[in-house]
A and B are shown apart, each in its own frame.
Chain A
Amino acid sequence: MDLFDISEVLGGKVLKNILGIIFIVYILLSSSIFLRNFCECLQIVYYPSTNIIFVILFFIIAICIVNHLQFNASLKANLIFVPFVLISIIFLFCANLRYFTPQRIFPILGNGLFDTFILGIGNIYALNGVVFIYFLPPLLKEPEKLKKIAISSVCISSAYLILSVSIILFMFPFFTGIDEIIPLYTAATYVEFGSFFQRLESIFLLIWIIAFSCYLSIVNKFAMLLFKKITNIKHSKPLIFPFAIIILAISLIPKNYAISKFYEVHIYRYFMIGVVFVLGIVVLALSYFKEKKKKVIKNE
């Protein structure tokens, strides 16, 4: 059972459809914002004279091609490239160790107790990937292993995030409040081994571009699966182009990088917390209590 099935038990088809629309909007919105921000960085570094729409279009075409293949194809592509991403970040961490100033972890409370522990809760949006755990059970060969899969994927994501944040925090005194792509790219420009291995940032960027394409295709696939589930349509393939066009359209809404970043930092993060951590958990908790109540009544 995934979150939709649970919500159907809790509030019938109405709740299932409402939840479905909210989650589809959330997934399309998040992928569009990330796509725009990633392409902005790409444009700054490599395509200064190319309109952003064409850079975004490259990813959109990749999404369409991958999703035209079977779901297994995108999963296998992910299986191949995710280790490369992990290795690239570990490599980036190790190669830049000599530039680290570990003392930058202090003052330990950062901008103060309130800022760190109350306002800092907003940073939980970095773990936005947990949304897929809600919809994972029907896709698993062995759904009983969901707990194990969920814990291990959260652990891997957290370790990956900690490594990325450590690189930025320990290397730069000025990037800590901004996004993660440009600082990591900047960190990659520091990687040099003698005069032979230099300018490795291109390789890093290539790995990140492939990984990002994989992420987008998986996200788009999930959006299509959710739509298929709430509308009971037979095939999801006709949805590929409409969904890809929606992602393209949303990613083109922000006028510039500043506005796109504003959406991500000030709007998206709270929307994500509301949808993934509040709405999802509330639905799960209410269903749990409803089931428990049913059992108690049954026993009586």
Chain B
Amino acid sequence: MSLLPIAFLALAAQETTTRAWTIQAERVYTGTGRNLEQGFVVVNGGKIAAVTPDVGGDGGRPRDQLRAYAVTAGLVDAGVRVTNWFSVEQSSEVTPHLRVADTLDPFALDWDRQVRNGVTTVLVSPVDRNVIGGLSVVLKTAGPDSIAERTVKADAVLRGSMGSDPSAGNRPASGRPATFYARRPTTRMGVEWEWRNAFFTAAENRASKDPGTSTLVAALQGKLPIFVQAWVTQDIRTAVFLREEVQARPEFAGMNTPRFVIDAAAEAWKEPQLLVRSKTPVVLPPFPAEGRTREGAQMAWNVAKVLEDAGVPFALSSHGSGEVDSRLAMQAGYAMSGGLGFDSALAAVTSTPAKLLGVDQRVGTIEVGKDADLVLWSGEPFQPGSRVVATIVDGVLRYEGWTAVQGAALTR
């Protein structure tokens, strides 16, 4: 880590429209299995134009140059939630066709925080107030001031939840007269029943033009991945068994291939063979400082290593945190401290989530032709002693870190 001081060379003519860069790094971690020592990444027109050990004579086209210790692809977080409870429609427990994109504010500071931490692509999901909350969206964290223009993939996944979140705060009818203020479900079994009811009803009415039903039908047919939040073993089992029920029952003939992804699967390490059997990938929640996290789930620090050994695809997530100790880069570091290798940790915050979201044609690795989403690091990525010194999104330098110890961020 002797190469910490970073020199930005020839930072001239900085306009946000600058899209031609030559990035020089001691380590180019492409994420494709081919890492370079002392390499260059050439960016043109918002795309990666070349990954090369030597730029040589480059046709003389003027490019701005950046230099850092390491460069990786922009990080991808598949676990970002909208934090505002009131941004979820609560008129029904099952709202499959509602789009979270319609509630997002492109001017929110959350996006800037993500950019500062090197996260360039996020899956944003509705808060888990409903059993089936709606359609999540894959976005770039920087770009034009409109959600539509930042969208990488609209209606990317169908989002729902097992466990206690959808019933938390709901009022049971006991003890007081039932009113229409009472909201169901109030238990885990109620939550599961809502899922099954939604699936079976959709199967019965598969020809319906109702937007909620057609969304569920698409999900059951495997055209739309289903992200199910399930922290503890009990809820992970429920999700897996639900999928197996769909596969087995005659009611679902012709639409029995749903693709599930278990989100926030803190206890996935306990029964990895269940996830292998059902070919279900997972997104892990942030590592807790102590062993336990939400829903009383026990999340061992070797969870990522256990999943890798078992052959379960997994992504890491910060759930959108920008804090120094819990940002996505540190989640990769913590997974490494639990035994995961660097390349696997890198994949878990770049290419694997990109694949789970179906956007791996555009983001997740440094390859010619992909979006120029790049993170420049002051030292080895994912170590607390390294920081993000620059973030490029679609070829535009969106964040430039601090060049020296000083009291305030650089301004230009």
A binds B: no
The residues of A with any CB-CB pair to B shorter than 8 Å are: none
